[in-house]
Each structure stands twice: as structure tokens, then as C-alpha cells.
Amino acid sequence: MANDAVLYTIGYQGRTATGLVGVLLEARVNLVVDIRSNPRSRKPGFSENALNSLLQANGIRYIHMQGLGVPKPLRSQLRADSNYPAFFAAYRRSLASHEQELLEVLRLARVNSCSLLCYECEPTKCHRSILARAIQQADGNGMQIRHL
């Protein structure tokens, strides 16, 4: 049997909160998994409570999974050296201690139209791409990944 599950990812950099919701609704996403270590933002509408309220008002569930965020030392190192290959390798290693959360996102993505959420707009510069691939591999590589 073919696996037709899709895992979406989205970054909110350069978007408004209502613009983000519009993109999610257009893709028919019904669950957002916030994978920021710290779900606060200086951008209006993107802190955890405000974002959760806006998403719920539009029929989209919200879950924050702090353990799937980037640990602060890794973020600091990336800011210092901009070494993305080293950053992504370190993040992959950090996922080993968060296998249960990763498997929970996989379970949720199999039964929902689910999107990972982070700040960075460019998926190739964001840990959500690494996480999405890890979830895809845990699924047996049948799950599709679509960056919104």
C-alpha cells in the first residue's frame, strides 16, 4: 500500500501571522507543531499563546515540542561561525535524545495534515528540514516533505 502522508514545514520569517494562517489553510494543514526551543517572538502574533489562539480560531490545532528545537549552544555556535554543515550534524546528534518526540510527530503526521513550524523562511537553513527528513526516515521514506 502506498504511503500518501505529507509532512509540511513552514517558517514565519517575513510573514504576518494572518498571512501564515492563509498559507496553512490553503495547504489544508490542520495541525501545527511548533519546533522552536523558545516559542516567543518579537514579531506580533508569533508567540505561543497568540499563535495558538489565532490558529485555533481558524480550525488549526497547535502543539509546542520544545525538545525538537535547537539547543541554545548550537544556535550560539551557528551565529558565531555560520557553519551550517556542523550545525546540522550537531542537531542530528541531538535528536537521538528526543526519539519519543520525533516518533510522536510521525504518529501525528500520519493522521493529520501536519506542519512543522519555525522562524527561518529558508528550509535549507533551518533545523526543520533535518527534523522532517528524520521523520521521513522513521516512516520508512514513504512520507513526502513539502516546504510551504
Residues 6+ apart with CB under 8 A from 43: 12, 17
* 114-118, strands of its sheet edge to edge: 61-64, 31-34, 114-118, 6-11, 144-147
pLDDT attached to residue 3:
58
pLDDT at 117: 98
Cβ neighbourhood burial of 145 (10 Å; 0-12, 13-18, 19+): middle
pLDDT on residue 141? 85
pLDDT per position as a tens digit, 54-72 = 999 999 999 999 999 999 9
pLDDT tens column, 8-27: 999 999 999 999 999 999 99
Query: How far is residue 118's CA from residue 85's CA, in Å, rounded to a whole number?
Result: 19
Convert the pLDDT of each residue in 93-127 to its tens digit: 999 999 999 999 999 999 999 999 999 999 999 99
pLDDT at 120: 95
